Structure 1
Amino acid sequence: MKKYRRIITIVLDSLGIGAMKDSPDYGDVGVDTLGHIVEVMGGLNIPNLQKLGLANLHSLTNVPPVNSPLGYYCSLREISNGKDTMTGHWELMGLRVDTPFQTFTETGFPPELISELEARTGHRVIGNKSASGTEIIEELGEEHIATGAMIVYTSADSVLQICCNEETFGLQELYRCCEIARELTLRDEWKVGRVIARPFVGKKRGEFRRTSNRHDYALKPFGSTVLNALKDKGFDVISVGKIKDIFDGEGITAAYKSQSSVHGMEQTIDIARTDFYGFCFVNLVDFDALWGHRRNPKGYGEEIEKFDVKLGELLPLLKNDDLLILTADHGNDPTYTGTDHTREKVPFLAYSPSMTGFGPLPEQETFAVIGATIADNFGVSMPKNTIGTSLLHLLQ
């Protein structure tokens, strides 16, 4: 018998909890996503996260620790070279990334790439800069509709994004162009983690709205992960949010796209009501995409409070043979300069109704302890060349 029949791991995308020793090497000095958000807000109403020990793990303004947390908690350091979504998630599932993905935040994409993209797709490119997705639609949407030129842009992530109007350009044509962009950006000098199709609707400035038909074209992981190991042994591996895209579908048995982080939690709650056997892996992206990159600590804080409400709905559904793990993939301090992710430690909060103990665990040197713990629980071997040591024996 496995210790837990179901494990649910929720990634609160970008909810870092303070700088690592090497954070200054990444340009991040004194960063603390969660701490600074709570400081700006003057506190947060997060009773369920408090019960799980978040305020015991990290000192928070006007959010006191509790005497007897429900489970175990510690901080995790990132051992990979990077601070982006794919690096963090791949490490969570056992892969150490030593070569960071390419970013084009400061310069835009090279003329040679843009020229080849135009020739292969048959569409002129406009934009080619780092920008907010909603802002660049307002800036260039009307020109795009009038001329058929593709809006191409990037961000602080390793991404190439193509933004086109569903009604005038066509969704399938957008996907075709993104597939070409993905092929081109497999070259080492242009290699980005993801190409993203960003469709929108509307006819003029002020009316434009992005749709839920976004599609990510991610690099395949360079090796097998814990997800592959679980799937190969017949366990359910359920993806919620952008997990499937991050792993390019590798090791996933069922996937649910989310329209928001609240929707992602509603999907997770529905999944918890089913009798799956295995692993449910959830990413809640709004913390990062809507608030971190836009340097909005108030919006970020309110998003955390919304999550806490949904967490309160999930906790009573957990059975004695369920394990819940809450974590993050990097930081994105909304009080820091620029719009980039921040290199930070992340939380590890673990709870099961069957636990008889609680309290702090030692800080861990890699996110990969999560994948190793999951593999250990289900009795599957860690794939070749993966990292991480199980914490399962500590979760009593």
Structure 2
Amino acid sequence: MTASQINRVVLITLDGVGVGALPDAAAYGDGEANTLLHVARACGGLKLPNLQRLGLGNILEVPGVGPVALPEAAWGRMRERSVGKDTTTGHWEIAGLVQTEALPTYPEGFPEEIIAAFERETGLRPLGNIAASGTDILVTLGEEHLASGRPIVYTSADSVFQIAAHEEVIPVQRLYELCRIAREILNPYRVGRVIARPFLGSCAADFQRTARRHDFSLPPTGTTILDRMAGAGLEVFGVGKIRDIFAGRGVTGYQYSESNADGMAKTLASLEDLERGLVFTNLVDFDMLYGHRRDARGFGGCLEEFDLWLPRLLEQLGQRDLVILTADHGCDPTTAGTDHTREYVPLMIWSKTPGWRGDLGERESFAEVAATIAQVFGLERGPGKGVRGDCRPRA
């Protein structure tokens, strides 16, 4: 059976699971970053037997996860060619779109012309307009928001315009409307994402963000593998925030998820009706709940939960299916700050079809994923040569 006889690909992004600082990481303040290694050390070792047998410990040996003699997958690591270290940039490159110009960031807050346009279009003068973590901003400004009804605008090290609002002060649908207005204002500035951040609670001590987050992304600036697949009549089903990251482009069906567990369940469910195409899943809890919040032990527990689930996916797949596991950036919870970290990402490709094993080494771009999918479905490739020629038959 050849690569062209693969009918379905399941691509899972383990959001934030980096495997070591890139050569240029120091320029981003991330010279010491190594998400997987540092999480494993903080946990006193990790129990990831299923990822280990696929070759995770061969990519990076960490406490509890060592190399195996004959990994059951093709394995390697990928270097990011794009400028930046955010979700949008990482996912776009995974899909074959390399960014040579960084999406803009606003560490000192957004310029007055943007805030004035937001106020003019919405009738609301926002609170904040600072760079802050999503939990800290609620402690700082949540109670003032309750009293004033004014939305909270904040940013981070990423190219994001985030709007936080209590669901009983600004209903979620109205918050989404505010985000759509902001998206139109920010398109000329190339800001990567506008993110709705609804929350609940009565005071700073118990404010909690809800699962009704929604991202409004800049449309991709070029052609992705999702566009090529959809254009060829193949299905592209997004799970989690995939549809948002690509502004709906090339996504023929989707379901949002409330957690990693929900995303994993929806990944399995999506396969029931898919005959030929791609399931593209983002599992964000590693990054959102643990990396940004500097919770290394929680991060490790989250990895172990994914590892326990992984056999359910592999058992459900047949001879004409392929699984690709990777990440979009690092999010080392042990380094200074709460931001993403510029790191290599893992690459593991598994199939029951013979010929998907071996050491893939270091790949020059995340776009190797898109190029490999293009090889599988006989589509035009963008950047990257694809890994098919570097795999070897099963022993």
Following superposition, the deviation at residue 170 of structure 1 comes to 2.4
Residue matched to 1:208: 207
Residue matched to 1:129: 130
Supply the RMSD in Å over aligned alpha carbons: 1.7
Residue matched to 1:292: 291
Aligned-partner SS, 1:313: helix
Residue matched to 2:258: 259
Aligned-partner SS, 1:363: strand
AA aligned opposite 1:158: S
Whole-Å separation in 1 of the counterparts to 2:335 and 2:212: 31
Corresponding residue to 2:44 among 33, 42, 45: 42
- Alpha carbons 1:273, 1:317 under 8 Å: kept: no
Whole-Å separation in 1 of the counterparts to 2:110 and 2:63: 42
Residue matched to 2:383: 387
Residue matched to 2:89: 87
Residue matched to 1:220: 219
Pair 1:60-2:52 in alignment: no
Whole-Å separation in 1 of the counterparts to 2:170 and 2:360: 53
- Stretch moving more, 361-370 or 133-142: 133-142
Residue matched to 1:118: 119
Residue matched to 1:306: 305
Residue matched to 2:79: 77
- Percent identity reads 47
Whole-Å separation in 2 of the counterparts to 1:118 and 1:257: 30
Runs of 5+ unmatched residues, structure 1:
none
AA aligned opposite 2:144: E
Whole-Å separation in 1 of the counterparts to 2:244 and 2:217: 6
AA aligned opposite 2:101: T
TM value normalised by structure 2: 0.94
Whole-Å separation in 1 of the counterparts to 2:331 and 2:119: 33
Per-residue deviation, residues 172-218 of structure 1 (Å, max 9, x unmatched)? 32222212211221233xx3100011222344444433333322110
Whole-Å separation in 2 of the counterparts to 1:205 and 1:310: 35
Aligned-partner SS, 1:39: helix
Q: 1:309 to 1:273 in 2, by over 3 A?
A: farther
Whole-Å separation in 1 of the counterparts to 2:37 and 2:202: 42
Q: 1:19 to 1:204 in 2, by over 3 A?
A: closer
Whole-Å separation in 1 of the counterparts to 2:64 and 2:7: 37
Pair 1:376-2:375 in alignment: yes
- Alpha carbons 2:183, 2:194 under 8 Å: kept: yes
- Alpha carbons 1:231, 1:251 under 8 Å: kept: yes
Residue matched to 1:22: 24
- Alpha carbons 1:71, 1:355 under 8 Å: kept: no
Map residues 335-374 of structure 1 onto 2, 5 A cutoff: 335-355=334-354, 358-374=357-373
- Alpha carbons 1:226, 1:371 under 8 Å: kept: yes
Following superposition, the deviation at residue 258 of structure 1 comes to 0.7
Following superposition, the deviation at residue 66 of structure 1 comes to 1.8
- Alpha carbons 1:272, 1:314 under 8 Å: kept: no
Following superposition, the deviation at residue 76 of structure 1 comes to 0.7
AA aligned opposite 2:121: R
Aligned-partner SS, 1:325: strand
Pair 1:323-2:325 in alignment: no
Residue matched to 1:100: 102
- Stretch moving more, 45-54 or 294-303: 294-303
AA aligned opposite 1:29: G
AA aligned opposite 1:308: D
Q: 1:153 to 1:392 in 2, by over 3 A?
A: same
Following superposition, the deviation at residue 357 of structure 1 comes to 5.9
Aligned-partner SS, 1:7: strand
Map residues 116-265 of structure 1 onto 2, 5 A cutoff: 116-188=117-189, 191-265=190-264
Following superposition, the deviation at residue 159 of structure 1 comes to 0.5
Runs of 5+ unmatched residues, structure 2:
none
- Alpha carbons 1:125, 1:150 under 8 Å: kept: yes
Per-residue deviation, residues 291-339 of structure 1 (Å, max 9, x unmatched)? 1112221111111111111112211111111100100111111111112
AA aligned opposite 2:164: C
Residue matched to 2:282: 283
- Stretch moving more, 338-347 or 266-275: 266-275
